[in-house]
Amino acid sequence: MDWSELERKMVDYRIHFHQYPEVSHEEVKTREFIKRELMLLGLTPFSFSGKDVAVDLQGIKSGKMVAIRADMDALQVEEETDLPFSSKNKGVMHACGHDGHMAILLGLVHFFVENRERWSGTIRFIFQHAEEAVPGGANEIVKNNGLEGVEAIFGYHLWQPLPTGTIGVRSGPVMAGADKFRIRIFGKGGHGSMPNETVDPTLLAAQAITQIHTIVSRSLHPLDQAVVSIGELKSGSTYNVIPDTAYLSGTVRQFSKKISKQIHERLDKILAGICLSYNGRYELDYSYGDSAVVNDEALCSLMKEKAVELFGEERVVDIDPLLGSEDFSCYTYDIPGMYTFIGVGKDDSPYGHHHPKFDIDETMFVPSVKLISGAVIDFLERSRCDANYISNNLRYSSTSH
């Protein structure tokens, strides 16, 4: 394998994707570019949802099927990096590393095409749309049988909080599930000089916010991990009028649906109590989102083993669970999966994910291909030799959800 040539290809891919970012569900030109590159390799791309791109590749012999997934969508962020290949689409930027994810997955396709004699089985490459949306594109792929026949799935994230050359792994829950809630509080508007004749929804909203922030500290078990945040508050339009309504919205991050349900119920009770006290009323719309991403124990062990081999034990870290969410959970809910964090943090670029100045270290492209391809080949070989290789997946059972 000519690694320098592959690196050049992946950097070129990344530059193209970065210059022409597209937001969730609108990855039209991105899909067409990926399809062209796959067809140039003699492959036949297809789609499960009409918005994703997938391709299957068989090795020297038949065997198990494994999938590797990368996400395609960008964010509604105005870029401020001053890179020579900055976004040409105003107000849209690859500020999370998905441009690098796609470049690496195309690099993996090149690697496996050139090295078919080294592995047996089938690899499904999934370029997924709308990871940043809720619900995400993974839901559509799974609903349209995107995992049919797949024994395990690998995902990865270029991760700025980890220094370049560091690999982050964890068995079990690794990224949180994410829920969303919307609250509308109804009062009785009136003149600001006569509050006694009104039911002030702004006051009710303020009381609600204060009590909502006690849910984690006073209603959940101290060892349960969760975050409840209010991100939006709208009430009134002028200084001397008490409005009729107030609107709030927020997010819940958790590692089990049991905790989601507890928080939902507590939100309802808080709002009911406040509105009863002040003669108001409310509507609560609570949307249960994707589950937590849960890494399979055996796949995590395999990935860690390969990472230590390539990077050295001192560069492989057991990361703490992250309260950010990822719709990769839609895959790990159904089949064993492994989601790996690849350090791309640079001293001269301290800006984190979703920041207008976010950037990645492209020197990790080739090491990423070596790591993921090595883990995939080892998985296929071990699965071929031992039909019981895959561990009981550590994802939560349906009763826990």
C-alpha 382: how far from chain center: 28
CB-CB contact of 238 with 280 (8 Å): no
User: Which alpha helices (DSSP H) does 177-255 contain, by range?
Assistant: 201-212, 215-218
The active-site residue, picked from 7, 131, 200, 327, is 131
Q: Which helix (H) or strand (E) holds 107?
A: helix 98-114
Strand partners, 339: 155
Which strands sit side by side in the sheet containing 150-163, from one edge to the other?
A: 53-58, 122-128, 65-71, 150-163, 337-345, 167-169, 316-318
Q: Is 41 exposed, middle or buried (0-12, 13-18, 19+ CB in 10 A)?
A: middle
Residues in the chain: 401
Identified catalytic residue from 7, 71, 73, 326: 73
CA dist., res. 289 & res. 327, Å (int): 9
Catalytic status, residue 114: no
Largest CA distance in the chain: 82
Torsion angle, alpha carbons of 323, 324, 328, 329, to 10: 30
- 325 close to 229: Cβ distance less than 8 angstroms: no
Contact 112, 123 (CB under 8 A): yes
Q: Which of 366, 371, 391 is nearest to 68 (CA)?
A: 371
**CA dist., res. 155 & res. 354, Å (int):** 19
Distance CA 129, CA 138 (A): 8
Count of H helices and E strands in the chain? Answer: 10, 15
Return the closest-CA partner of residue 369 out of 109, 126, 96. Answer: 109
For this structure, is 320 an active site residue? no
Judge residue 52's burial from the number of C-beta atoms within 10 Å of its C-beta, 0-12 exposed, 13-18 middle, 19 or more buried: buried
Place of tokens 């500020």: 95
Q: Which residues are catalytic?
A: 73, 131
